[in-house]
Amino acid sequence: MNYIVLVKQVPDVSKLIPPDAWDREKGTLRRGVLDNVLNPLDVQALTFACRMAETDERSRIACLTMGPPQAKEVLWDSLARGADEGVLLTDRAFAGADTIATSYTLAQGIRKIERDVFQGSRDYIIVTGMQSTDGDTAQVPPQIAEELGIEQVAYAQSFEFNHGLLRVTRIGPRGMETLVPDRFPILITTPVWSEPIYGSFHRARRARSTVLHEWDAKSLQVAADRIGLEGSRTQVYRIFSPSEMRDHECVFPKDMDELVELVEKKFRSQGAIAASAAEEAYCLDGKTPTRRGEVWVYIEQEEGVIQAVSLELLGEASKLAESLNQKVGAVLLGHGEEHLCDELIARGADKVYWADHPLLEDFLVSPHKKVVTELVLRHGPQVLLFGATPVGRELAPRVAYRTNSGLTADCTKLEIGDYLKGETRLVGILKQTRPALGGNIMATIMTRGSKCQMATVRPGVMRPRRADPARQGEIVWVKPDLREEDLHLKIASMKPLASRKSLADAEIIVSGGKGLGSRANFDDYVEPLAAALRRLLNARAEVGASRLAVEDGFRDHGHQVGQTGQTVQPKLYVAVGISGAVQHISGMQHSDTIVAINKDPNARIFSYAHFGVSQDFQAAVPALIEAVERRIACKKQPRAMLATSKS
Amino acid sequence: MQKTTARDARDIKVLIVGAGPAGLACAIRLKRKLNAASRDDPVVVIDKAAKLGYHNLSGAVFETACLDELVPGWREEESSILKQMTRIERDELYYLTTRRAIRFPSFLVPEPMRHKGDYSVSVSRLVAWLGAIAEKEGVEVYPGFAASSLLMDSGQVRGVKLADLGLKPDGKPKTNFSAGETIFAPVTVLSDGSRGVLSRQFTETFSNAGNPQVYSIGVKQVVQLPHGNAFGDDRAVHTLGFPLKSDVFGGGFLYSMGNDLVAVGLILGLDWKYKDLNPQGELEILKSHPFIASLLDGGRVLSTGVKTIPEGGLYSLPQLFHNGAVLIGDAAGFVNMEKIKGLHNAVRSGIAAADAVFEAVLGDDFSKRTLQQYSRNLAANHVLKEMRRARNFRQVFRWGVYLGAPLSRVQRSIPFKMKIEKDFACTRRDFELNRSYDAGMMDKATFTSLSGTIHREDEPSHIRIKEPGLCRKCIDQFGVPPCVHLCPGQVYRLKDGEILLSPSNCMHDGSCAVKCPHQNISWNVPEGGEGPRYRQM
C-alpha cells in the first residue's frame, strides 16, 4: 500500500497574533509577520499515514502540496517527519483558487502521482487533515474525493490492517463507526487523533538532498477554466476585523437577577455576530434578480428527530425567501420518517422534498450526495443551506462539487444584497459572512459563475421560527435510484459514543482562575455554576481553567483555556477569579458573551467582558447560582399557571 | 522502523551548535574558505529556536567593520542587512535623578562609550540575514533542534546528543516519543550563547578559568512610536542613575530602530545586593521617568525579551578549545563591557575559529594542538586586545558607581587581575527595594506573552530544582526567594511555602540559575523549536 498525504503551508494563527500583524487600515494580516508552518492537522494526517506505512515496509509516502516555491519548506518538514517523496504543484495559473479549483488541481496532482510515482498502482490511500487553519473550510478533501470518484472516511481515529483488509474507525454522526472499504484508493481525513510525529534531524538532512517533484499546470494537464481564479465559484466581497463587531463596554448589572436576565437574553438571541445584524430586510423593489429558484435547506434528522440546526436554517431560509419572493424547500432524506414533513412545513418549509430509501437510513455520504445532487440539478434552487455539522461538512462539499456550485463554509451571517461594480450588476444575491484565520478576520463571500449558492451555517447562530401547525405546504415524493453495489464503504460496526467532554465544542464554559485558591473551591463554586447554567440554558456546559489554576492543580491541562491551552469560542464564557492575562484572553476573546466575576474592579478581564460582577467569587457565585435557580423556577411557573387557567 | 531515502546525507565534518552571530559567522567564513579550496565538507549548524533569530537578542549598537571582513561587499548587496540598520548620528548619555535628566557633555564621555557612526540593528534580523548568506554558501542550517549534551570520550569531544522528544511530565514516553538523536562530528563549534548548556558542560569539564564568569541581565522592549515622533530615527540614548541605586551596576538605553520603532531596555549587573530586585519592573520604572516617558510618548510595546550578558571580561574567559571543540561568541564571553558591545567580538571570534578549523579540516587533525591556532587568531584580530584593554572594567564597579566610574577610567593601569565574586553570593537578605508598580505599568504576564515564548505544556520541566529542601531554606532566609522577583517570565512562584514552576513561560535567559543563592537550579534545553520568538529584538 502507498500513501499520499496532502500538506499545506499556513500562517501560524494557533497562538496569540502579535499586535503588529494587523494592517488595521486594510483589515488584513501583514505578510511575513506570522510564521509559516505546516498545517497542524496535516501533521496529524502524516502521523496517521506513517503509522499505517509502518505495517508494510514496501510502502511509500508521498506528500503533496500546492503553492508558491517557498511551500517547499512544508515538503522538507514532511520528509523530516517520515514522508519519502515530495510533490509541489506550482504555477502562477493556480493562484487565487477557491476550494473547487484547488480540489480539482490537487486531484490532477494525485492522478499524476499515481501514474509517475506509483507506476500506475491504485493501491494507495490519500490521507489529509480535516481542514487547514487558514481556510478552515474542510471542503477540499471531500471535493477531491468527489473529483476522483472515491470514498472518504472523515474524522478517522484509528485503523487496523488484518490480512490485507483495512478497517478504519471514525467518529460518525451517531457514534464510533468501523468502516470497511472494498476498493482503493480511498481518502481518509483525520482530526486530532494522536500525538503528532516529530521531525528527525537526520531525516531533515536527507530531505534537503531529496529531489522534489515540481509540476506546473502544463505537466498536470489541467483544464484552464477549472484552475485558479477562473475555476473558482466563490469570491471574497469584503474582509474586516471581527473587532468591528464587538465594540462594547462591560456592563455591570445592578443585581444578579438582572445579570441572569441579560445573559439569557443574549444567549438566546444568538451570538454577538448575528445580534448586531438588526438591519432592514432586503427588498427587490421591482429589480430583476440575478438568480431564480427556491431557497433550500438540507434537513438533518437523527432517528426521527429533526436537528436543531435544520430548524434554525429553515427560519433563516424563510427570511431570505421572503426578500426574494421565493418558496422555501426542505430536503429530507431517510427511511420511514415522512411524518417529519408536517413539522418542516410548520417550521417554515413551503415544499418538502422527501426521499425515502433503505440505503438512506444510516448516514453514508455517497447515497445522500447522489440524491441531493439529482434534486439540485432537476429543480435548480438558487440557495442551498447545510448545517456546519459533521454531516453538513461532509455532504455539502460533494454536492457543490458535483453541481459546480460555489460553497462557503461555516457562515455566521447570511443576507440578500446587490453587488454593483463597474459592468457587474448582481441583484438579490446571497452574501455569506464567515470567520477566517482562526476567527481573526471576518470575510464576506459571494458566489460567482454558478446557479446555486451554497453555504454551511454554524449551529446556534440563526433563529428558528415558531412552529405554526396551520401552515400549508407541499410534499414532493422523490424516488431515489440507489443500489447496494454502488456502496464501496460499508459500516462494519457502530457503537454509540458517550458524549465526549471537550471544551472546544461546549456552548457554555465556566472557567476558574488562580483567584479561586484551591481545588475544593473549583468543586464548590465553578462546577455548580456550570451545572446551573446548563439547566437554565439547556446547553452543554463545561468547566475551564486558566493556566495558573492548572499549574496549581485545580484542574488538569485538558481544561486549560488560553495561549498555551485551548482556544475556545463558546456562546457563553464565564470567567471566575481570572484577572485576564493576555495568554488567557487570546484563548477566549472570541466567545459570544463573556461574563467576568472578579473582586478587582480594574482587572483586565473587564475590558473584554460584556457583563461584569466586581465582587469576591465566594459571595458572587452562590448569589448568581441562586438567581439562576430563581429564573428556572419562574420559567416553569407561568406555564403551569397557563395550564391551570385553561382547565 | 526508519526508512531510508535514495540519497543518504553525508557525514558531517564541522558541527556548529547555535546559530547566533558567532556561529553563523564561523559557518560562513569556513564554508567560503572550503569552497575556495574546492572542498565540499559538510558544515552543519543547528539551533534550538524554531526559526533563525528567534533566540537572539541584543541592544544593539553594532560596530559593522567586522562584517567587512566576513562578507566583503555586504553593504552593496540587494538584500543587505544595512537596509534594516539605522545609523546613529545623535549619541547622548544622561544621568537620571528621580525627576530630571542631566546630559553628560560629549567631551566627558569616554571614547569606548561613544557610538556615533555605529549602527543600531535587531540581532534577530541580523541572524536571519547571516543564515541566508550561510545557506547560499552551502552551509546546512537546521533550526528547531536542541542539543542537550556534549558527547565526550577520552578527553575528546565527539559531537552532541539532541533532546528527547515526546515525553510526559513524569518522564515516560508518549506515543510519539523519539529518543534524542546523536550527531557525530570531528569538530564541534560551541556557539550556544550566554549560559549555553553545552558550552557550560564543556567549561565544567575542561576549564580552569581564573575568575568565574559573571553576568548582567538585559530586559528589552521594542516600542512602536507614532509617526513623526520626537525621538527620531538616528539616535542612541544611554542613561545612568534612576531607577538604580548607586550600588547596582547598569543603565538604560533607547535606540532608534527605523520605521518609528525604538528599542528600550535596561541592563543590570546580576551582582546586585537587593533580594527583591525585579528587572522587568525596573524597566517599567525607568520608562515612567518624566524624560524617558516623554521620549516614548504615544508608544505601543510590540515585543519584549530578556537575556543574560557574560561580562566578566578577559579574566573570566574559560578554556577556548580542546580536542574536537572550540568555544566562540557569548558562549566564551567576548563581551566588552566598557563599550557595552559584544556583537563585533562574537563575529570576529567566529572568524578566528573558522580559520583554525579550516586548517584542521585540511590537515584532518582536530586535536587541541591544531585548534590552539584559534587563540592566536583571536589575538591577531583584535578580539583579545580589546578584551585586555577592558580587563578590570567590570571588577571596579563592585564598589558601586561612585567609586567604580572614576576607577573604570584608570582600570587599564591596574597591573594585576582583580578578583570577582560569583553573582549569587552578592545577594543580601537585609537589602530590599520594596518597589510598588503603578497600574499602567506592564506586568510580567504581558511581558512574557509579548516575547512570544511557547513550550509544550505537557513536557517534563526543562528547569530542575536540584534539592527542594534548599528552596525551603531559601524561603526561610529571604521570605520570597530572589528567583521569584528576578524572573521576568514568572517561572517561579511561591505558594504555601513551596516554589512552583511554570517552565512554559521561560524565555531562556538563564538568569535564575546565575542568581539562585543556593545554586539549586539546573537549566537544560526543552524540545527543539520552543522558547521565545524574537523577530526584531
Segment B114-142, tens digit of pLDDT:
888 999 999 999 999 999 999 999 999 99
The residues spanned by each domain of chain B are 14-74+123-209+317-391
Mean pLDDT for B253-267 is: 96
Q: What is the largest CA-CA distance in chain A?
A: 85
A286 lies in the same domain as A413: yes
Name the domain boundary from A454, A487, A520: A487
Q: What is the DSSP string of B105-160?
A: PGGGS-GGG--TT-EE--HHHHHHHHHHHHHHHT-EEEET--EEEEEEETTEEEEE
* Residue closest to B527 by CA, chosen among A198, A40, A202: A198
A414 lies in the same domain as A468: yes
State which residues form the domain around A197.
2-150+185-232
**Residue B16: what pLDDT?**
98
A379 lies in the same domain as A282: yes
Position A417 in a domain: yes
Position A155 in a domain: no
* Residue closest to A419 by CA, chosen among A563, A237, A168: A237
**Cβ pair A492, A526 in contact under 8 A:** no
A57 touching B (Cβ < 8 Å): yes
| Candidates B50, B51, B142; nearest CB to A204 | B142
* Residue closest to A583 by CA, chosen among A550, A620, A556: A550
pTM: 0.87
Residues of chain A with pLDDT > 70: what percent?
90
A278 lies in the same domain as A227: no
Most confident of A377-386, A431-440, A543-552: A377-386
Domain of A617: which CATH number?
3.40.50.1220
Position A64 in a domain: yes
Beta-strand pair B492-495/B498-501: antiparallel
A447 lies in the same domain as A526: no
The CATH code for residues B14-74+123-209+317-391 is 3.50.50.60
**Residue B6: what pLDDT?**
40
Beta-bridge mates of residue B499: B494
Q: What is the largest CA-CA distance in chain B?
A: 70
| Candidates B7, B145, B445; nearest CB to A210 | B7
Mean pLDDT for B324-332 is: 97
Output helix, strand, coil percentages for chain A, rounded to the nearest 5.
35, 25, 40
φ/ψ region of B277 (left if φ > 0, alpha if ψ in -120 to 50, else beta) reads beta
Confidence of residue B489 (pLDDT cuts 50, 70, 90): very high
pLDDT reading at B57 higher than 80: yes
A132 lies in the same domain as A33: yes
**Is A552 within 8 Å of B165 when comparing Cβ atoms?**
no
**Cβ pair A415, A461 in contact under 8 A:** no
Output the average pLDDT for chain B.
Answer: 93
Position A276 in a domain: yes
CA pair distance A577, A546, nearest whole angstrom: 9
Gap from B386 CA to chain A (nearest CA, Å) = 38
Q: Which amino acid is at A646?
A: K
Kindly provide the ipTM of the predicted complex, given to two decimals: 0.94
Q: Using an 8 Å CB-CB cutoff, list chain A residues near B174.
A: 195
A558 touching B (Cβ < 8 Å): no
A120 lies in the same domain as A220: yes
Q: Which three cell numbers mark A150?
A: 472515491
Gap from B491 CA to chain A (nearest CA, Å) = 11
Confidence of residue B336 (pLDDT cuts 50, 70, 90): very high
Q: Which three cell numbers mark A285?
A: 423593489
| Candidates A204, A208, A557; nearest CB to B457 | A557
Buried b (16+ CB within 10 A) or exposed e, A244-260: ebbeeebeebeebbebb
A56 touching B (Cβ < 8 Å): no
Buried b (16+ CB within 10 A) or exposed e, B241-256: bbbbeebbbbbbbbbb
**Is B181 within 8 Å of A564 when comparing Cβ atoms?**
no
Confidence of residue B70 (pLDDT cuts 50, 70, 90): very high
Query: Who's near A618: CB < 8 A, 6+ residues apart?
Result: A521, A525
Query: Who's near A308: CB < 8 A, 6+ residues apart?
Result: A459, A460, A464
Question: Which ranges constitute the DSSP H helices of B364-392?
Answer: 368-371, 373-380, 383-389
A122 lies in the same domain as A208: yes
Q: Which of B176, B257, B446 to mutate to test the interface with A (most CBs of A within 10 A)?
A: B176
**Residue A271: what pLDDT?**
45
Mean pLDDT for A113-133 is: 95
Sign of CA dihedral B193, B195, B197, B198: positive
A110 lies in the same domain as A139: yes
> Searching chain A, which residue's CA lies closest to the CA of residue B52?
A35
**Is A557 within 8 Å of B140 when comparing Cβ atoms?**
no
CA pair distance A543, A531, nearest whole angstrom: 10
Position A311 in a domain: yes
> Searching chain B, which residue's CA lies closest to the CA of residue A553?
B500
Cβ neighbours, 10 Å, residue A615: 16
A35 touching B (Cβ < 8 Å): yes
CA pair distance A492, A181, nearest whole angstrom: 10
Gap from B457 CA to chain A (nearest CA, Å) = 7
Domain of A50: which CATH number?
3.40.50.620
Name the domain boundary from A205, A232, A259: A232
Q: Using an 8 Å CB-CB cutoff, list chain B residues near A82.
A: 3
Output helix, strand, coil percentages for chain B, rounded to the nearest 5.
35, 25, 45
> Searching chain B, which residue's CA lies closest to the CA of residue A194?
B175
Q: Using an 8 Å CB-CB cutoff, list chain A residues near B300.
A: 19
A467 lies in the same domain as A550: no
A33 touching B (Cβ < 8 Å): yes
A135 lies in the same domain as A31: yes
**Residue A18: what pLDDT?**
62
CA pair distance A157, A274, nearest whole angstrom: 34
Position A289 in a domain: yes
Q: Using an 8 Å CB-CB cutoff, list chain A residues near B448.
A: 583
Pick from A232-236, A403-407, B322-326: least confident:
A232-236
A469 lies in the same domain as A526: no
Edge to edge, what strands does the sheet with B235-241 contain?
B101-103, B90-96, B235-241, B250-258, B261-269, B215-224, B300-310
Gap from B445 CA to chain A (nearest CA, Å) = 6
Continuous segment of H or E residues that includes residue A597? strand A593-597
Q: Which three cell numbers mark A429?
A: 444575491
Position A605 in a domain: yes
* Residue closest to A18 by CA, chosen among A37, A33, A36: A33
* Residue appearing with cell numbers 457502530: A494
Task: Tally the domains of chain A.
Answer: 3
Q: Using an 8 Å CB-CB cutoff, list chain B residues near A194.
A: 175-176
Position A162 in a domain: no
